[in-house]
Structure 1
């Protein structure tokens, strides 16, 4: 799938600094999840290196980076399968989203309001979709491209 049509703007992936800072965010996030009584139950025994790497690849692709998750890990269909039947509650979804926001701070991702609005916009959309798809009896869209997220209504301020 091609990127978002935002001519002249860097991708969110590039603005974040690439895979290394995104992986740092994912590691900070899962370190917090493992210690969180409301979220750790989704990962009995802890969050594996394998899972962390795959989620970092997902975030990289969604934010406009390489298509590694789709090419090597199964794309949207694979991500969907990981959430089916989890029955994520609204409180758990909120906890997940707020924990990821804290992890972005701890990973020193860019703190400008435009970038944070874009990634939190994706986080809200993605966690709400995952929650709905996780419900018993849900009938999610079975085949879709991996989303590619852009700046939306607040492009980067470049002075």
Structure 2
């Protein structure tokens, strides 16, 4: 990496390996959690890997989630009709942040602020999209998250 190139959040986090380590540890905790564990009772064994692919693409890594899993429409399909509650959303966020600490994900304030910003933003959208009667856009690009810059909100 050259001094004049700002690394992506993906690069700063440590790439695919770091994100896969994060999601493996995270989902180990999720499946044992009384509040959100039931939402993941029948999750595919590769679910942590797929979430790592999503996060990688969001944070500026390769477009693997789009190329291999179908991008935003596929992600959306996993949230529709789940009726995620606010306490469940908050627990998901809390467990992910704990897992980030546990696996030693970059802990500098700038990275963690950007990381936490996306996690808050993304989980709030997932909760909204999961509600009965929700009509989210069926097609949208995978968001691309940077250092303190959120994509524009398009209702």
* TM-score normalised by structure 2 residue count: 0.91
Q: Is 1:127 paired with 2:137? A: no
Q: How many pairs are equivalent?
A: 146
Q: In structure 1, how many angstroms separate the alpha carbons of the residues matched to 2:68 and 2:15?
A: 18
User: What's 2:85 paired with?
Assistant: 89
- Structure 1 residue 29 displacement after superposition: 0.7
User: What's 2:25 paired with?
Assistant: 28
Structure with the bigger RCO (C-alpha within 8 Å, sep 6+) is 1
What SS is found at the alignment partner of 1:76?
A: helix
Q: In structure 2, how many angstroms separate the alpha carbons of the residues matched to 1:107 and 1:21?
A: 8
- Structure 1 residue 71 displacement after superposition: 0.5
**RMSD of aligned alpha carbons:** 1.2
Q: In structure 1, how many angstroms separate the alpha carbons of the residues matched to 2:142 and 2:106?
A: 24
- Structure 1 residue 44 displacement after superposition: 1.7
Q: In structure 2, how many angstroms separate the alpha carbons of the residues matched to 1:69 and 1:109?
A: 21
Match of 1:141 among 114, 119, 137: 137
- Output aligned runs, 1:36-115, within 5 Å: 36-45=33-42, 47-115=43-111
The ranges of structure 1 where at least 4 consecutive aligned residues each deviate by more than 4 angstroms after the TM superposition are none
Q: In structure 2, how many angstroms separate the alpha carbons of the residues matched to 1:43 and 1:147?
A: 24
| 1:47-83 C-alpha deviation (Å, 9 max, x unpaired) | 4332111111101101100000000100000000000
Where in structure 2 are there 5+ consecutive unaligned residues? 150-155
